[in-house]
Amino acid sequence: MKTLSILIAALLSTSAYASNAPEEPHIYVKGEASVTTMPDHVLLTVGITEIDKDLIAAKKQTDTTMASAISLVKKLGVDDADINAGQISIYRDNQYNRETGKQEFTGFKVSRTLTIKLSAINKYPELLQSLVNNGINEIRQTQFLASNYDELHKKAQKMAIKQAKVAAKELSDDFDVELKSLYSASLTPLDMPSTPYMRSEKVMMADSAPGNYVPDAYHAGEITISASSYAIYYID
């Protein structure tokens, strides 16, 4: 049965097992599942950077642009709690002069960052264009997200666990052995000297799209939320 155990655990070599593996005959399996959903909000991070040898002038310009951007965002109905414009950085900017071989002071670089959570995805193109038109010169990050991500991830985890159980039953049936009790289970790979057996089919489920989703809003597409489950079962 020890030889059978090695075969079932995906044709292992004869090297010693890791500490997570039992000495008794066993199988090592993996379950995997995904849930797809549509985003219901956008997390957008933009910025403004100005360089001027006059520090006060550079800061004033960035503050003016940021104030205009915040005003635009509020006009689109974004709540104060979904606007973060607290970050600012100031440092001396130098440029290498090849003729003199020295670093020369070019000015003070002042940067401001604005992060916005926009629930009305259909307004994203309008917001983006308005920000650029009004002086924002850096688009740093755009994320289309789902507010129920944690809930869907838990759902995917439960589906992955079920798939691990099905894989264990399928593998034991294929080798005509009896599946016994569970030895170990984890949502992350176990410390094993083998690749876990996984069924060829990956379970996927589509979640309903939020009511305020607009399909042509920059073609955000679906969000895929995946989870895995690993288990070791005794066999007889």
**DSSP 3-state of 2:** helix
Question: What are the two backbone dihedrals, phi and then psi, of residue 165, each rounded to the nearest 5 degrees?
Answer: -65, -45
20 CB-near residues (< 8 Å, 6+ apart): 184, 190, 191, 192, 232
Handedness of CA 92, 93, 97, 103 (dihedral sign): positive
What is the DSSP pairing of strand 203-206 with strand 26-37?
A: parallel
Of 191, 200, 189, the closest CA to residue 166 belongs to 200
Residue 19: its pLDDT value, please?
59
Strands ordered across the beta sheet of 179-186: 179-186, 223-235, 26-37, 203-206
Task: At 110, list the tokens.
Answer: 């002042």
- Rounded CA gap, 9 and 122, in Å? 50
Task: At 156, list the tokens.
Answer: 């995917």
Residue 213: its pLDDT value, please?
43
CA distances for 78 relative to 82, 124, 126, 177, 210, angstroms: 6, 11, 13, 60, 18
Residue 191: its pLDDT value, please?
84
pTM recorded for the entire structure: 0.70
- Rounded CA gap, 18 and 191, in Å? 6
Q: List, run by run, the mean pLDDT of 10-residue segments along the chain (236 residues).
A: 37 43 91 93 95 96 96 93 94 90 92 95 90 93 93 95 94 93 91 85 66 51 91 93
Task: At 236, list the tokens.
Answer: 């007889």
The residue count of the chain comes to: 236
84 CB-near residues (< 8 Å, 6+ apart): 114, 115, 116
- Rounded CA gap, 103 and 21, in Å? 60
Residue 62: its pLDDT value, please?
96
Which one-letter DSSP state was computed for residue 62?
A: H
140 CB-near residues (< 8 Å, 6+ apart): 45, 46, 47, 113
